[in-house]
């Protein structure tokens, strides 16, 4: 193909960069590299193409990110073996594009068995550069002896090599972050939540099920201990589905007297009870078209359970004192911190209602089972505490995070939040640069009395190390990692503090 005039070449370059920017909108490196390869092959008029990238400083031959076009599995193996030989070494070593009109007759490559066996003719191999460092290659190939690559093939391969790295590196970092944080893929499908912080497998599982349930009109039962974020997850489900613009109402069934709970849910006609001087609009009617979250649903009375079952089955209900059925289009999400199956077994909860509510169950593990979440949650709560009291933000020290991770939190996020609010107050009062373990646990902190200061420090160290060892079942390597110590330092502490593994 004849070379284009300069003006047309400039237009092609402009179009190349415009397309490259558009390709940068991809979320993952794989599709981006595939379409970038398509683009350069089209502009270079190449028959076959291959592109691969590694992280900065990594051997690009080990990268999982690559794309190939018009290449069979057998040919791909040939290309990669060729790349790992002289062609790739020369491109990466020199940082310059390697080009040959015929690899089978080129003294640099003709001795390679794969080149002779596969009759590889024209090749352009350009390094992908990140700054001054080559981190990958672009490989274009032709098998036709009479078909040489035009000069613009080298030009566009080099342009791609110079400009693809920043975009691909950003996408690769995002892929690494998603791999390190299993919650990210599911958060992307749900509305944002500042309360559901963390990256543990347990939280990821809860968010995965929430993402599945959000677009569907099914009942959801959210279980978990108090303070784990059940009503927040219910809100996320409601706000991520087709009812997002409609009302979302939460009723805590444990906070309403039993004699008023039915009126609160289903409403009441005038005179139905002593406080119903006029008609009472129930929460079901108020949530029309939207979602009603019944927190602590196990506290419903037998009568309220029966009415709720009827509503779920028929979408109709009777207000207290009413003789005509009312209808409502409301999705029910229930939450509880009790074992409803046990409540069914004891006769405290209707079995048929349990199965109606439990179409999809989502369990939020307690904080004690989500060690990976304690640090991120603590940082967020610390910021919130500072902002809520209009104080300058004081960061948590690494030692404080480790101390929090070694504690048990039976009260879950609420208990952790109370601890951090107190700590922020103490740290602010001392004008401290960071929140330290002594602010978190002042009752266990060293005394300011110089006579017993060192003894108090040793006591605090002993408790911290002992709790760390117990939490890790006396695995010294794991405990050292948690405490941010070297193994030798931890062994010295164990000896100096007189700690012994229990029988």
The pLDDT tens digits of the residues spanning 283-341 come to: 999 999 999 999 999 999 999 999 999 999 999 999 888 889 999 999 999 999 999 99
- Give the model confidence (pLDDT) of 433-453 as tens digits: 899 999 999 887 544 444 444
In a domain, 69, yes or no: yes
SS3 447: coil
Whether 230 and 349 map to the same domain: the answer is yes
pLDDT value for 483: 76
In a domain, 270, yes or no: yes
Lowest mean pLDDT: which of 140-144, 150-154, 206-210, 351-355? 140-144
Q: Which helix (H) or strand (E) holds 413?
A: helix 412-429
Verify that 213 and 331 share a domain, yes or no.
yes
Residue 466 domain boundaries: 369-496
pLDDT at 75: 74
Whether residue 198 is found in the same domain as residue 333:
yes
CATH number for the domain including 399?
Answer: 1.10.8.60
Same domain, 51 and 89: yes
* pLDDT level of residue 178 (50, 70, 90 thresholds): low
Last residue within a domain, chosen from 132, 147, 179:
179
Taking each continuous run of H as one helix and of E as one strand, the counts in the chain are 21, 12
Same domain, 263 and 373: no
Would 503 be classed as within a structural domain? no
Q: Is there a single domain that holds both residue 114 and residue 206?
A: no
Q: What's the mean pLDDT in 33-60?
A: 77
CA dist 303 → 113, 188, 206, 260, 266 (Å): 84, 41, 32, 12, 12
200, part of any domain: yes
Q: What's the number of domains the chain is made of?
A: 3
Q: Is residue 501 situated within a structural domain?
A: no
Torsion of CA 61, 65, 68, 71, to 10 degrees: 60
Q: What confidence score (pLDDT) does residue 175 get?
A: 64
Tell me if 346 is assigned to some domain: yes
Domain shared by 434 and 342, yes or no? no
pLDDT at 214: 96
State the CATH number of the domain containing residue 36: 3.30.450.40
- Contact yes or no for 193/232 (Cβ under 8 A): yes
Ranges of beta strands (E only) in 197-259 are 220-223, 248-252
Task: Decide if 502 is inside a domain.
Answer: no
Among 179, 213, 236, the domain-final residue is 179
Last residue of a domain, one of 144, 179, 214: 179
Other beta carbons less than 10 A from residue 217's beta carbon: 10
- On whether residue 461 sits in a domain, the answer given is yes
Q: Are residues 35 and 153 in the same domain?
A: yes
Residues 201 and 328 in one domain: yes
- Whole-angstrom CA distances from 366 to 209, 225, 231, 264 are 17, 6, 14, 30
* Mean per-residue pLDDT, 421-434: 92
The CA dihedral of 294, 299, 303, 306, to the nearest 10 degrees, is: 50
Place of tokens 């010295």: 492
Q: Are residues 156 and 193 in the same domain?
A: no
Cα–Cα dist 357/21, whole Å: 48
Average pLDDT over residues 33-44: 88
Question: Are 349 and 229 contained in the same domain?
Answer: yes
Mean pLDDT computed over every residue of the chain: 83
Q: How confident is the model over 8-24, as a mean pLDDT?
A: 77
pTM: 0.57
Same domain (yes/no): 205, 274: yes
Residue 275: give its domain's CATH number.
3.40.50.300
């Amino acid at each position: 193909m004849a070379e284009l005039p300069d003006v047309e070449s400039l237009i092609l370059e402009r179009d190349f960069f415009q397309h490259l920017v558009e390709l940068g909108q991809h979320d993952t490196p794989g599709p981006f590299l595939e379409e970038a390869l398509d683009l350069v092959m089209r502009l270079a008029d190449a028959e076959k193409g291959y592109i691969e990238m590694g992280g900065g400083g990594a051997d690009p031959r080990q990268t999982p990110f690559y794309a190939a076009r018009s290449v069979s599995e057998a040919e791909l193996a040939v290309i990669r073996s060729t790349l790992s030989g002289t062609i790739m070494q020369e491109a990466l070593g020199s940082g310059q594009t390697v080009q040959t009109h015929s690899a089978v007759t080129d003294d640099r490559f003709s001795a390679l068995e794969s080149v002779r066996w596969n009759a590889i003719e024209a090749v352009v191999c350009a390094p992908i550069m990140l700054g001054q460092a080559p981190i990958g290659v672009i490989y274009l190939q032709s098998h036709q002896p009479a078909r040489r690559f035009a000069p613009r093939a080298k030009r566009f391969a080099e342009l791609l090599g110079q400009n693809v790295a920043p975009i691909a590196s950003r996408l690769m970092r995002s892929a690494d972050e998603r791999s390190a944080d299993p919650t990210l893929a599911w958060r992307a499908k749900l509305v944002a939540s500042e309360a559901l912080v963390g990256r543990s497998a347990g939280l990821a599982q809860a968010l995965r099920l929430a993402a599945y349930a959000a677009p569907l009109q099914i009942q959801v039962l959210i279980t978990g201990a108090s303070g784990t974020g059940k009503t927040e997850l219910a809100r996320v489900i409601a706000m991520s589905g087709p009812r997002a613009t409609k009302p979302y109402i939460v009723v805590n069934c444990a906070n309403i007297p039993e004699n008023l709970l039915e009126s609160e849910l289903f409403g009441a006609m005038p005179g139905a009870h002593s406080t119903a001087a006029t008609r009472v609009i129930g929460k079901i009617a108020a949530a029309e078209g939207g979602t009603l979250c019944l927190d602590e649903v196990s506290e419903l009375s037998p009568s309220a359970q029966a009415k709720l079952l009827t509503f779920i089955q028929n979408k109709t209900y009777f207000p207290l004192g009413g003789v005509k059925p009312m209808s409502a289009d409301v999705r029910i999400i229930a939450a509880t911190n009790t074992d409803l199956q046990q409540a069914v077994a004891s006769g405290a909860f209707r079995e048929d209602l349990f199965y109606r509510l439990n179409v999809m169950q989502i369990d939020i593990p307690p904080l004690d089972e989500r060690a990976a979440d304690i640090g991120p949650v603590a940082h967020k709560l610390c910021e919130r505490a500072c902002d809520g009291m209009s104080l300058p933000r004081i960061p948590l020290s690494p030692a404080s995070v480790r101390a929090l991770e070694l504690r048990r939190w039976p009260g879950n996020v609420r208990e952790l939040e109370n601890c951090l609010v107190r700590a922020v107050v103490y740290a602010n009062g001392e004008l401290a640069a960071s929140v330290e373990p002594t602010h978190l646990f002042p009752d266990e902190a060293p005394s300011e009395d110089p006579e017993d200061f060192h003894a108090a420090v040793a006591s605090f160290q002993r408790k911290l190390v002992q709790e760390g060892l117990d939490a890790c079942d006396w695995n010294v390597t794991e405990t050292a990692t948690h405490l941010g110590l070297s193994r030798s330092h931890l062994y010295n502490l164990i000896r100096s503090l007189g700690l012994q593994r229990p029988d």
